[in-house]
A and B are shown apart, each in its own frame.
Chain A
Amino acid sequence: MKRMTSTAIAPAQMTPALPVSLNGVGRSFPGAPGEPERLVLRDVELKIAPGEIVALLGPSGCGKSTLLRQISGLDRPTSGTLTIDGTRIAAADQRCAVAFQEPRLLPWRTVARNIELGLPRGTDRAVGRARVAQLLELVQLSHAADLKPRQISGGMAQRVSLARALARNPGVLLLDEPFGALDALTRLTMQDLLVDIHRAEPTTIVLVTHDVDEALTLADRIVLLGTRFDRPGATISRILEVPGTRPRDRASTVLARLRAQLLDALGVPSHHDR
């Protein structure tokens, strides 16, 4: 218990943020018997700098999550290569950590024990406990450490999921619409929390979202995925730099203009008065 106070050791043991590179990544899935295979992603070229926050934005079903799964190593591309820090991504690459769309907590474990699952294999017990306590504080759940997942709200469960992903000090943090299922207010709070977390532990973050405002609030760059009408398979249709430093003014006029552009690109009328 004495070591719980050692919050200061965390940055020293921290894995540095790692760069990610996607070279001509494509993924197709076998079709139903007798049907041709289905191309979901094609020709994705992207370089992500260490410590950068990149939002993958696109309409539902365009392959955002599939792309994220390629980076995590949970799925393999059918063409192209992906590297983290210059080396090929392994199956379930341990330099990454994923927070899924659903919290995916083990229902029989307490909040603290769920976060423990995210620690690197073979972490010293005392070190692990200190890290979990620190993360609970970071996601403001110290009071809920001993609760079971069924006893906490959806927003809390997502924070647990986030803390679990952070537990290993990942070189790359992958977030698959982590706040998608939350109510609008909780989502804003969670976005601010993520900004704080990134400042405290500045890792590389790839965030899948279909929420334009979320992308604008959080990302350094927004990568738009889309499908051309004449070709199957989604690819990067645009990359936008988001100006300004976080935390950003949600009502900024610069962002309002970008929002309009993004919505246009997504095929939604923005009704923006230019």
Chain B
Amino acid sequence: MSFDERGGAPVSRPSTTEGREAASREPADGERANAGRRVTLFGWAGFEGFSAAGTGLGRGGAGRVSVGTVLLGLVVPGVLLLVWLLASELTPIPDYLLPSPAQVVGAGVELANQGLLGTYILISLQRVLLGFAIGASIGLALGAVVGLSGVADRMLAPTLGAIRAVPSLAWLPLLTVFLGIFETPKITLIAIGAAFPVYTTVSAALRHVDPHLVEAGRAFGLGRLALLTTVQLPAVVPSVISGLRLALAQAWLFLVAAELLASSMGLGFLLTDSANNGRTDRIFLAILLLAILGKTSDALVGLGERALLKRWS
């Protein structure tokens, strides 16, 4: 596996608001709704935990995101920053419990000067992207097989459901024993996390492709494979995208899980390392970085999704 520390495009973490909107565009069946709820098992990225007000990015044809919308969305972070600033300056809470914003920025600059900040961010991004790419591909393949074949559905779905029910952290000891402590177990864990949202949404969506369109394709001489690429896959593109966004959120979750427990680099490592050394400022920094990275990249993915859906319907 390559170990190139130059990361790719930013990735999204809590894309759940858009995820829900995407899901509500199509009739969600039980399976589908489960795909969403599943995420809540792993903590803070639950469907229900995020405001439905959102940014409207996932809504097809909801119009452009205006400057006003962006400013409105910045109100709460601005207020929070102010409260944080005031709390750290005016209350007797000691710095080692509540560092000031300036101290957190200072911690970032310090890490950057040591050459660690960029490394940590890039290694985390690399793990997320690799794990996501592998997991999403496997999820897509499994989802296609289960969604298209009744036999495969009956044969594989129960097993896959059971594997999906295993909490993320339960895999980690086993993966460490099997695969060592370097990149492979982490990426494998992230791939496991990313595979299931894609698998669930894709298989459910494929089962519900308009049978009329499929029959029309068959009537015009499309074989199984051609039918898949010409009719069925394009028909589930919107679902695939929402599955991919959920998978990205999962990838970040599993990344932090993997890095918290066994790593010497990355944002999750920064969290544990700082906790062990009492560096609250660095903990704040890591959390802020995760939030900013996640939200920014989520917005980018949302823009891509919108462009694609526009072309696609």
Contacts and interface: CB of A to CB of B under 8 A. Distances in A.
B213 interface: yes
B221 A121 contact: yes
Interface of A: 72, 74, 92, 94, 96-98, 100, 102, 104, 106-108, 117-118, 120-121, 148, 150, 164, 168
B190 to A, nearest CB: 31
B234 A106 contact: yes
A230 to B, nearest CB: 35
Contacts of B213: 104, 106
Q: What does DSSP make chain B's interface, helix, strand, loop or mixed?
A: helix
A107 B313 contact: yes
A92 B311 CA distance: 31
A121 B219 CA distance: 12
A100 B213 CA distance: 10
Contact of A92 (B221, B235, B312, B313): B221
Contacts of B216: 98, 100, 104, 117
Interface string B226-250: 1000110011010000000000000
Nearest to A103: B216
A131 to B, nearest CB: 14
Contact of A117 (B212, B230, B312, B313): B230
B215 A118 contact: no
Contacts of B219: 72, 74, 92, 96-98
Interface of B: 212-213, 215-221, 226, 230-231, 234-235, 237, 311-313
A148 B235 CA distance: 14
A102 B226 CA distance: 22
A121 to B, nearest CB: 5
9 contacts: A74-B215, A100-B215, A100-B216, A106-B230, A108-B235, A117-B216, A118-B220, A121-B226, A148-B313
A164 B231 contact: no
A117 B218 contact: no
B201 to A, nearest CB: 18
Contact of A150 (B231, B311, B313): B313
Q: What does DSSP make chain A's interface, helix, strand, loop or mixed?
A: loop
**Complex A-B, nearest 5 residue pairs according to Cβ-Cβ distance, in ascending order:** A104-B216, A108-B312, A98-B219, A94-B221, A92-B218
Contacts of B235: 106, 108
B10 to A, nearest CB: 28
A74 B212 CA distance: 12
A202 B90 CA distance: 90
Contacts of A102: 212
Nearest to A91: B218
A220 B43 CA distance: 70
Given A74-B215, A100-B216, A150-B313, A106 B231 contact: yes
Q: Which of B212, B220, B226, B235 has the most CB of A within 10 A?
A: B220
Given A97-B220, A104-B216, 18 more contacts: A72-B219, A74-B215, A74-B218, A74-B219, A92-B218, A92-B221, A97-B219, A98-B216, A100-B212, A100-B215, A100-B216, A104-B212, A106-B230, A108-B312, A117-B216, A121-B221, A121-B226, A168-B220
Contacts of A148: 313
A14 B311 CA distance: 35
Contacts of A106: 213, 230-231, 234-235
A28 to B, nearest CB: 20
Given A100-B212, A102-B212, A108 B313 contact: yes
A117 B217 contact: yes
